[in-house]
Amino acid sequence: MEIIRNPAAMTSWANRVTATGAAIGLVPTMGYFHEGHLSLMRAARKGADHVVVSLFVNPIQFGPNEDLAAYPRDFARDCRLAEAEGVDILFAPEAAGMYPEATKTKVVVSGLTSGLCGGSRPGHFDGVTTVVAKLFNVVKPRIAIFGQKDFQQLAVIRQMVRDLNWDIEIVGHPIVREADGLAMSSRNSYLSADQRRTALCLYRAIRHAGERVRQGVVDAELLVAEITEMIHSQGGVEIDYIALVDRDSLEPLGVLRPGTLLAMAVKVGRTRLIDNDLIC
């Protein structure tokens, strides 16, 4: 596995590869790899001739009071894990390389970014779409793999690719969970043992929602109220949002229908966790 730090060097490599007709698969990450990341790398390997994993803790998608400085990092470990998965290139640029001082451009997707995480993290998705657009231009992938745990992010990136006529296949990969159901996340490393158990309220909420749908419940407001009460009864959890939305438009629903997504964000201690599931 080769490590490339410079965006121009990354593009030079990509140009040589694509000139041969070979396909590049990109897995954008912020590092601190877990099994969820590794599953994305395997999916990229199945869909492309060469796999590039980007490792970049993107400063412009963090708010002023968020965890940019504290975000978990272990570059040596990440290198070992990526190499073991057969990754060809680990692209790990510095912030100054991605955002030179003269940078005056950002990429904005409207509409899809106004609710859910976009509602509570102003500017977050502008940072996401800008860095992903830059990665697409630098790496030149034919396919890019994103985890469905960040479902809104996936929807926003798909919209950006359609709107800007990029010839890139965007693949959403299913959430990878721990044995007890907790969605894998680099931020899980922040949790104490007690907080880790508390965080399982998200998976219990998903299971409850699925059971209620099987029982015939279609009233979205009723189901949100039940989940809210369930999570509040846990204690030690601050709810950011609990929403039942259309999987494509991300618009809130009053009545459940096929394609309904349950999306949640909570804080356990100081750790913000998200989870989601298509419940019907």
pLDDT of residue 6: 98
Percent above pLDDT 70 for the chain: 100
Q: Is 37 part of the annotated catalytic residue set?
A: yes
Average pLDDT for the chain: 97
Q: What is the pLDDT of residues 171-230, one digit of tens each?
A: 999 999 999 999 999 999 999 999 999 999 999 999 999 999 999 999 999 999 999 999
pLDDT of residue 243: 98
pLDDT of residue 112: 97
Question: Mutual orientation of helices 124-139 and 151-163 as an angle, nearest 10°?
Answer: 60
pLDDT of residue 102: 83
Asked if residue 234 has pLDDT above 90, the reply is no
Q: Which of 37, 50, 173, 208 is catalytic?
A: 37
Nearest Cα residue to 188 out of 90, 279, 275, 261: 275
Q: What is the pLDDT of residues 47-76, one digit of tens each?
A: 999 999 999 999 999 999 899 999 999 999
Q: Yes or no: say if 273 and 196 are a contact pair by the CB < 8 Å rule.
A: no
Domains observed in the chain: 2-173 (3.40.50.620), 186-274 (3.30.1300.10)
Asked if residue 99 has pLDDT above 90, the reply is yes
Q: What is the pLDDT of residues 250-275, one digit of tens each?
A: 999 999 999 999 999 999 999 999 99
Interatomic CA distance for residues 151 and 193, integer angstroms: 27
pLDDT category, 29, cuts 50, 70, 90?
very high
Interatomic CA distance for residues 53 and 172, integer angstroms: 16
Asked if residue 7 has pLDDT above 90, the reply is yes
Interatomic CA distance for residues 66 and 51, integer angstroms: 31
Q: Give the residue-averaged pLDDT of 22-51.
A: 98
Nearest Cα residue to 89 out of 26, 177, 180, 179: 26
Q: Yes or no: say if 94 and 7 are a contact pair by the CB < 8 Å rule.
A: no
